[in-house]
Amino acid sequence: MVWISGGRFLMGSNEHYAEEAPAHRVSVDAFWMDRHAVTNADFRRFVEATGWITLAERPADAANYPGAQPELLVPSSVVFRKPPYPVDLGNPHHWWIYVAGASWRHPRGPDSTLQGLWRHPVVHVAFEDAEAYAKWADKKLPTEAEWEFAARGGLDGAEFAWAGRDLAPEGRHLANTWQGEFPWQNSGDDGFDGTAPVGTYPANGYGLQEMTGNVWEWTSDWYQEHGKLLSKPCCTLDNPRGGDPEQSHDPRTPNVRIPRKVLKGGSYLCAPNYCRRYRPAARMPQPIDTSTCHVGFRCVRRAPRSAEPVPEQTAELEENG
């Protein structure tokens, strides 16, 4: 893990997507954060120790999904399928499908395996799966504010997790994203057509890797518009914890009231022509019952205010995570 000293920063952005605005001042206390996303190997150790069965590996409760087709209630998860030609970007069903048998063990479907993917981020984990892992590891999931502060790496107000306003400075890819026209054409110029092994890309100013791109990451905050959380827009929010579950439901599905958490960081599917969310300020609501092939997580350990790690503690945490 990496020690993050905490401090004040400008959270959100007024220059990109509406859900990121308004930019506002926030302070967070010190904490430790995983250097990279939890890997398939990490998650396997958790499952072997606890016998945990992920949400994607269990059938869905029909009572929670009125009118759902029976084939959508079997153990399954959401998988990206690249269409062979340009499609309407307003309809994500062109590239997202529920795949029976897809799970963290079988990331591309029931016939796929984790061979060669042990150092890749675990995916197809719903919120409760990430939370259970964090509890087992004696850690927590980060708040949105903690996550964004850490992702910025000390570059307050910067567009990316690195200096400058270029996604690929001088042609160098600093995050695993989509190159080409999403969702049908990906050149893979960054070396990957899917997830990349953790530690592939340069660390940010705090020593954290792949804070943007590769996989979206769960936070502990219920999704809510930034503006609704600012009771006093003039003032700094101290250690905000997001909204509440009742206010986080998707208004487009009034009959399916599944609360949503905030995802951060973007993924390997983010592209300039569709989803420019490979930035620290970017955020997305994700229903807690939904797992996909591009969502993972990392954990934190919180420290008392003004606490500083001693060298022995730092070495132990960085070695053992």
pLDDT digits (tens, 9 = 90+) for 118-135: 999 999 999 999 999 999
Q: Which two tokens stand for residue 146?
A: 């903690």
* pTM of the shown model: 0.93
pLDDT recorded at residue 235: 76
What percent of the chain has a predicted confidence (pLDDT) above 90? 82
pLDDT recorded at residue 242: 82
Residues 224, 244 contacting (CB under 8 angstroms) = yes
Taking CA atoms, 6 is separated from 121, 147, 304, 313, in Å, by: 26, 11, 11, 18
Which pLDDT band, with edges at 50, 70 and 90, does 227 fall under?
confident
3-state SS class at 141 = coil
What mean pLDDT comes out for the span 164-178?
Answer: 96
Structural domains present in the chain: 39-135+154-232+242-296 (3.90.1580.10)
What mean pLDDT comes out for the span 103-117?
Answer: 97
Q: Which residues contact 314 (CB under 8 A, 6 or more apart)?
A: 3
Q: Which residues contact 256 (CB under 8 A, 6 or more apart)?
A: 64, 65, 66, 250
Alpha-carbon distance 306 to 233, whole Å? 26
What mean pLDDT comes out for the span 207-212?
Answer: 98
Taking CA atoms, 160 is separated from 54, 100, 199, in Å, by: 33, 36, 18
Whether the per-residue pLDDT at 318 is higher than 60: the answer is no
pLDDT recorded at residue 35: 98
* pLDDT greater at residue 264 or residue 71: 264
pLDDT recorded at residue 303: 76
